Amino acid sequence: MGDYQHHWKDGTPVHLPLGKIVCVGRNYAEHARELNNPVPDQPLLFIKPATSAVHLTRPLSYPKDQGSVHFETELAVLIGKPLTHASASEAEAAILGYGLALDLTLRDVQSQLKDKGHPWERAKAFDGACPLSPFVAAEKLPRGNLHFTLDIDGQRQQTGDTADMLNPVVPLIAHISRQFSLMPGDVVLTGTPKGVGPLNSGQTLSLELEDVLFVETTVV
């Protein structure tokens, strides 16, 4: 842990430090329903620390002694400008790039925390809890809705489309900036579609964003 650095798809580094990783829970209604969670009436926000980030291109490891660890595939947004109380146009202009991420979750631990009304950090913020892909510059992706997928061992597991988000990307980033400032190098994870499930040793995970970004990794 500790050697994570943002990179572009071609392998060149993004010369921005990773600050915080802002995550959005239950941003796809069908995912909320598959876990028997209520659909929130405003974005459900939590933060992963920079120490949770690892490169998605490397083999994945996860805690083996705290119950089930679930994968949640998400569109990741790299912030390139400071944002505080931003308008939608300011938020859109601050999007430097897009990538993919896994929001790894200690599901048994999270369920226990939820039952007690406690914060989720023990389930979401552990070292290695946020594998991040390289990023694609925003201008190199189509404007409008973005589509992404996760296959496990060659079988389609998750399909996401920003058209299905309860809170679309640009208004979501503007909303976050009204709660706390976003800084260059911060990453926003925009929520996971349905199809989450447990990680198991030996699996091969293949993630794709708009036929532009393809990442494959294994679970050790």
Q: Domain segments of the chain: what residues? A: 21-218
Which region among 37-51, 74-88, 121-135 has the lowest average model confidence (pLDDT)?
Answer: 37-51
C-alpha of 82 from chain center: 20
Query: What is the arithmetic mean of pLDDT over 149-176?
Result: 97
* CATH topology assigned to domain 21-218: Fumarylacetoacetate hydrolase; domain 2 (3.90.850)
pLDDT tens-digit profile of 17-32?
A: 999 999 999 999 877 6
What is the phi/psi pair of residue 180, to 5°? Answer: -160, 155
Q: Which two tokens stand for residue 127?
A: 């070292």
Give pTM, 2 decimals.
Answer: 0.95
Q: From CA 9, how far away is CA 214, in angstroms rounded?
A: 9
CA geometry: angle 160, 119, 159, nearest 5 deg: 5
Rounded to the nearest integer, the mean pLDDT of the chain is 95
Is 206 in contact with 42 (CB distance < 8 Å)?
no
Q: What would the pLDDT profile of 50-107 be if each residue is shown by its tens digit?
A: 999 999 999 999 998 999 999 999 999 999 999 999 999 999 999 999 999 999 999 9
Residue 66 one-letter amino acid:
Q
Conformation bin of residue 141: beta by default, left when phi > 0, alpha when psi is -120 to 50: beta
For the chain, the residue count is 220
Residue whose structure tokens are 């208004």: 171
| Model confidence at 1: pLDDT above 60 | no
Cα separations (Å) of 180 from 83, 141, 169?
A: 9, 27, 17
